[in-house]
Amino acid sequence: MKIRIFLFSLILLFTSLSAAHTKEYGKIRALQQRAAYVTKQKNDFVARVLTSYKIPHEKNDIGAIVRINMEGQRLSIKAIEIIPLTKESADKRRHVVAHELFFYTDNNILDLVSELTIR
């Protein structure tokens, strides 16, 4: 009888661990999909800003900006930082009115301000 209870307990343990693993995998997959969506939004926004300033640029296979052409020089982009610029409205809430973009290259930092919206 003790052996049956022990075996039944093991079966319950393994089935519950499997269900918990599946649930966690679903959460991880949802987070990965959200991260991919946000990354695509960011890449598309940066490309739209550069296009609005008529700055030639190159993208990699996932749409990230890897090079820009400034004054005849091709500059490799090491990092891009996007800072929302806010303004307080009459009801004391802060609203995003523009974005400041910093493009970090080997030797320079290109600073652009755009009133384009990310979405």
pLDDT tens-place string over residues 23-64: 677 788 888 899 999 999 999 999 999 999 999 999 999 899
When divided into structural domains, the chain yields a total of: 1
Chain centroid to CA 100: 17
32 within a domain of the structure (yes/no): yes
Helix, strand, coil % in the chain, rounded to nearest 5 = 45, 35, 25
Q: What is the reported pTM?
A: 0.74
Residue 65 has which token pair? 């900006």
Task: Provide the domain limits for residue 107.
Answer: 2-114
pLDDT tens-place string over residues 98-114: 999 999 998 889 999 99
What's the order of all strands across the beta sheet hosting 65-70? 57-59, 65-70, 73-76
13 within a domain of the structure (yes/no): yes
119 within a domain of the structure (yes/no): no
